[in-house]
Every structure is written in structure tokens, then in C-alpha cells.
Amino acid sequence: MNGELFQMCRLTAAAKQALFRGKDFKYEPSAYENKVEFLFLPNIRQCGILRRTAENAEQWYKYCVKKGLRDLKLVMPTEVKDRQMLGFVNTSQCRIICYFKNGEITGFDPKWEIDRKLKKWDILYYEQLLHIPFVWPHGEDNSDELREVLIEIGDLAERIDCADFAKIFGRALNILDGEEAPAFYGPPPDIPEKLLPLFCAADIADVFGAMGSWNDSPPFMAREKGLDQEYEELSSRLLKNIRLAIFYAVNEWR
């Protein structure tokens, strides 16, 4: 999973833990993050227009609560036109949606920029007003569908001589089935323990990136064996079920 989506998972989970379970809001920046800031919509006051910026994730959460935060969701498309683009920053099309008690719905969209001197990322989330029906997005446990596509795409990876990817899909399957403990390179989202295997399996199976990813050589290797249509179908199914699993694991609990 790329850092952009992983960060939004962690922010959403931390806010939900604080909002619904009475925990302190805790967000530990990853090693590659320099700063994370949030630019809120302008407020019109007697003295003029005030545009508030939260200098860190904790300030963002506290200000959202002050505005009357009642719930939040991480949303993302389950299909993309070009999976190759997922190897670049600012392409995830994911968003944190906040629902407020006054009926207002806003979305926070991230923009990542590299600080070339520090070799770390500066991330700024922009709030925007959303004119959408007040309907709670709802997800369901798709463990069975994710398991099925992991088995099928792992078999495809073997047949097109991509053994390393077959191992990745196999490890994701083992974690999903409880045969291997979830493991993360950095702090995972603070979601209920029972949901960690599903989230971790989706994290590991998310091999859609740039050079060296499932988007790189495998499609050409599949084409050489006349399996390009199967590659496209299974890759689309995998991405869809990865994102459905993330949505469910991050959002569907209180």
C-alpha cells in the first residue's frame, strides 16, 4: 500500500478511537514524513475571513471536534482507469469525509510534496465542502472474495514466471487465513485487533506501483503467454477487493 493511503487509514482510525472509544488521539508520523498540516475552510467573522490551519494531526482532530464532528469515513474508488498512475503521489483519489452535527459534510484531500533537502514529505490536507446526500457509506467483510482472488492471481503469477509476486500473494493469503501473524513496516492503523489480518492482507497484496511493481513487467510477461486478458481481469478484481477490505477494516467499527 502506498504511503498516501496508509496515512489516511491511520488518521481515520486514530480519530475514530478518540471520538467513539474515548482514547487520546495518537498519531505517530512515519519516518518519511516531515510535516502534516490541514487547511480548513474559511470562516466568516465580523473581523473578516479566518482560514485556520492545523499544524499537526492532533490539532486537526481537536478542531474537527470543536466544529461538531459526529463521524468520519475514509472513502476511495474501487476502480481506476489507469493502474500505472498508482505508482505516483497524489493519485490515490482517496479522501477523508467528515460528518458534522450541523449537517455539514466536508472532505479532506491530501497533497504530497517532497522536501528535497530533507528527503522527506510535506503533506497538506485541504478541506472542501461536499454537496452529497447525507448517506452513510457502508462496507461489508469481503474476506471470501479477497481470498479467492489471491488464490487465482497467485496461480497466474506462477504461470507467467513471476515467483516473487506469487510469494507476496501467498503471504497475504496466509495472513488473511490466520496462518501468519500480521506484520507492518511502521505503526499500523489503530483498528480492532480482529480486523488487522484483513487489513494487513490488503496492505501486502497492494502491489500496484511503479518500477518493479505488478504494473511493470508482469503485464508483458502475461501477454507473451497469451494471458493478458486474465492478467487484466484478475488485477482489476484484486485492486477492487483490496480497497473494499481497507474500507471495511478502517470504517466499519465503533
Q: Tell me: the pLDDT tens digits for 92-107?
A: 889 999 999 999 999 9
- Whether residue 28 is contained in a domain is answered as yes
- For residues 12 and 82, membership in a common domain is answered with yes
Could you tell me if 76 and 43 lie in one domain?
yes
Residues 6+ apart with CB under 8 A from 156: 222, 227, 230, 231, 234
135 in any annotated domain? no
Could you give the number of structural domains in the chain? 2
pLDDT in tens, 122-176: 999 999 999 876 666 788 999 999 999 999 999 999 999 999 999 999 999 999 9
Both 52 and 108 in a single domain? yes
Q: Does 209 share its domain with 125?
A: no
Tell me: do 74 and 178 sit in the same domain.
no
Domain termination site, one of 70, 101, 129: 129
- Residues 230 and 236: their CA atoms lie apart, in Å, by 10
Indicate whether 59 and 11 sit together in one domain.
yes
Same domain, 87 and 179: no
Mean pLDDT score across all residues of the chain = 92
85 part of a folded domain: yes
Report which of residues 220 and 44 the model is more confident about.
220
138 within domain boundaries: no
Mean pLDDT of 211-226: 93
Q: Is 111 helix (H, G, I), strand (E, B) or coil?
A: strand
Which residue carries 487547511 as its cell?
A: 39
What integer pLDDT is reported at residue 5 of this predicted model?
A: 93
Point out the domain boundary residue: 73, 106, 129. 129
Contact criterion met (CB below 8 Å) for 206 and 238: no
> Are 101 and 155 members of one domain?
no
Among candidate residues 129, 152, 172, the one where a domain is terminated: 129
The residue range of the domain holding 55 is: 3-129
Q: Are residues 81 and 113 in the same domain?
A: yes
Tens digits of residue pLDDT in 21-71: 999 999 999 899 999 999 999 875 545 556 689 999 999 999 999 999 999
Write down the pLDDT at residue 85.
77
Cell of 5: 493511503
Question: Residue 135, exposed/middle/buried by CB under 10 A (0-12, 13-18, 19+)?
Answer: exposed
149 plus 97 within the same structural domain? no
Q: What is the pLDDT of residue 83?
A: 82
pTM (predicted TM-score): 0.93
User: What percent of the chain has a predicted confidence (pLDDT) above 90?
Assistant: 77
